[in-house]
Amino acid sequence: MSSIFFERVKILKSNKLLLITLISLVIIGSIILVNYLSFSDIEEVIINQLKENQLIKTEHIASQTENHILQVKDELITLSKFPVMETFDITKCNDNMKLVHEKIEGKIDSLIRVDKAGNVVECSSPSFSDYLGMNIQNKDYFKIPKETSEPFIAGSVNQGSNLQIIVSAPLFETTKYTPYPNFVGEFKGTLLSIVELNKLYDLYFHPIIRTGENYFLLIDMSSKETILKSSQLEDYSELENNYNNLLKKGGLDTISHFEGFGETIITSSDIYLGSETWRLILLTPLDNVGKEIRIMQRRHLFSLGFVIVVITTIFFFIFSLYKSKEKVQMELDKTNVTLEKLGINIGTEEDKYTLADISLDAGKVYLVKEDDENHAHELFISSLNRGFAGLGVVREDPRAIKKRYNLHKTSFVWLTYTRVEGIPCENNIENLSKLISEFVKKSEKSVILLDRLDYLLTENQFEDILKNIHALKDLATQHDCIIILSVNPELIQESHLKAIEAETIDLYGKHLKKKVELSELELNILKYINENNVINKLVSYKDITINFKITKPTTRVKISNLQNIGLLQVEQKGRFKSIKITSSGRRIIS
């Protein structure tokens, strides 16, 4: 039992990604557990969030209201600086602010002009026609601008049943524009703009305050008078003791018991209007937001449940990958046993042997139409020289091949019925394909030689051969291995050969011929070199020049061209350069 446990630990250690994922799951699970244990406190967290949101809303209303009034003041100052106020022509009180807003765009929607004696002489709207003829010389919004030459804001002025804010700015006689304050010339009166509190409510209070959920109170901090309020609330004078108790406990921005509402979220923000300070107080009884609290609780629960589902899914996915890894490992172990049982080792040769004139690319299946020169063997050995682990499936006695090429670690399977001790023997294409697949999957990089397809065709159905060639092609692509097939074209049907050519790269056949276009001189040079090589006679550049009666530069160009396309090899032997034809060259002239 302990050995099995340690084996599993070993497998886990070998997969760092799996280990990191499992650790991450443990950490996330711990966080979820802590959240679950503290879930009883979530209502308090939600209430605090609601309080923070309400404080932001309260400050937003106060800020927007204050900015509106200040912008009206700034616009009024700008208008008061124009040299000839009479050009505004607001005497008709026809609610036409077009002339005003041609001068300045902004918050002003009414104008009243007062002369230097305090008489209202002009207005911009029929709503203020009652002001015409009225004398306001004793009103602060006339006296203070006259005395200080500064604008003035008079908050909470009663006009009938409406509450208004009056903003005023002084006017001076002048003939040219001067920066404010404008003291050039005689005092000519004041320019007033009236802002209805109901309009401010519609603009800034109404979009945020929810009827039946929260309530507001706007009070003048100097007079303690109520300016605006929700209908559900009493005037400040009736609730002053309640507010004072809250102030003693630490302020209005709190969650506390409020008379008539129970536990209530209370927030406040001040509005500064000239010399006056107003305070906006917003109240939200917790009973009114219980539904919202429950909704947020459900959201938290849903989020928690969703995370748990995701983590559980990931855990089972990782677990399935782990089980799959174990299964693959078992298959690999089984494969290793199969290969070892047959005496097939996966190893790379250390020494260099023969070198073919073509270097094969991994991930492809090559076809060699074999003759007596063992081109397929040369390509196989050349790949071994590049560090590929090799498996040869050959018709010739593997012991002879190993001896010929001095191979020690390369494995072979003998294509024969006869069972030979110490040598794997097989001629069934399905079994061979399985062995090749296992060898390739077990190797980091490999080269496979499948010799004498024509022999296999005598022992297997062509459909089975072609099906397994398809499988080998997929195997080569997936595992970047090299597969070399050899066949004697004279021993198989032409249609079978064409089907095999369609799935492979024909090294010395039509693929090579399509790429090479040789002149008659180049073909004759190849034939001349081949004839001499056959009798083991070395050929030099000088021999080519003399035999074909061409110049030395022409000889060098032709030999270089044939060498570049892999049809010739040039070897340096001291001061003598020996020219040899390659396997590809022999194929071209055959």
285 close to 292: Cβ distance less than 8 angstroms: no
pLDDT score, position 334:
52
- SS3 (DSSP) at 250: coil
The residue among 499, 514, 529 that closes a domain is 514
Residue from 517, 510, 508, 518 nearest 586 by CA: 508
- Structure confidence by residue, pLDDT tens digits, 125-147: 777 778 888 898 999 889 998 88
439 close to 420: Cβ distance less than 8 angstroms: no
DSSP state of 187: E
Calpha distance 327→329 (Å, rounded): 5
Q: Which two tokens stand for residue 539?
A: 């050929």
For residue 23, being part of any structural domain is answered with: no
The CATH number of whichever domain residue 538 belongs to comes to: 1.10.10.10
For residue 315, being part of any structural domain is answered with: yes
pLDDT score, position 393:
92
pLDDT score, position 39:
54
Scan for tokens 């939600």, then name that residue.
46
For residue 215, being part of any structural domain is answered with: yes
Q: In one letter, which amino acid is 530?
A: N
Q: Which residues pair with 278 in a beta bridge?
A: 220, 271
Same domain, 536 and 551: yes
Pairing label, strands 112-115, 187-196: antiparallel
For residue 25, being part of any structural domain is answered with: no
335 close to 438: Cβ distance less than 8 angstroms: yes
SS (H, E, C) 389-417: EEEEEECCCHHHHHHHHCCCCCEEEECCC
For residue 142, being part of any structural domain is answered with: yes
Same domain, 158 and 186: yes
Same domain, 400 and 447: yes
How far CA 553 is from CA of 529, 559, 570, in Å, comes to 18, 10, 16
For residue 356, being part of any structural domain is answered with: no
Residue spans of the chain under pLDDT 50: 1-14, 84-87, 175, 511, 514
Same domain, 400 and 540: no
120 close to 126: Cβ distance less than 8 angstroms: no
Calpha distance 283→236 (Å, rounded): 13
Sequence-distant (≥ 6) Cβ neighbours of residue 327 within 8 angstroms: none
The CATH number of whichever domain residue 182 belongs to comes to: 3.30.450.20
Same domain, 535 and 486: no
pLDDT score, position 177:
52
Same domain, 62 and 210: yes
pLDDT score, position 63:
93
Same domain, 151 and 259: yes
Calpha distance 528→538 (Å, rounded): 11
pLDDT score, position 354:
56
Calpha distance 25→204 (Å, rounded): 48
- SS3 (DSSP) at 433: helix
The CATH number of whichever domain residue 472 belongs to comes to: 3.40.50.300
Sequence-distant (≥ 6) Cβ neighbours of residue 182 within 8 angstroms: 80, 81, 172, 174
> Which domain range does residue 276 map to?
38-326
Same domain, 152 and 54: yes
For residue 14, being part of any structural domain is answered with: no
- Structure confidence by residue, pLDDT tens digits, 189-202: 888 888 888 888 88
pLDDT score, position 402:
87
DSSP state of 539: B
Q: 432-470: b or e for each residue (b if 16 or more CB lie within 10 Å)?
A: bbbbbbbbbbbbebbbbbbbbbbbbbeebebebbbebbe
Same domain, 388 and 302: no
Backbone angles phi, psi at 243, to 5 degrees: -65, -40
Q: Which two tokens stand for residue 587?
A: 């194929």
pLDDT score, position 5:
44
For residue 162, being part of any structural domain is answered with: yes
Same domain, 467 and 536: no
The count of domains in the chain is 3
Same domain, 176 and 293: yes
Same domain, 143 and 254: yes
Calpha distance 391→374 (Å, rounded): 16
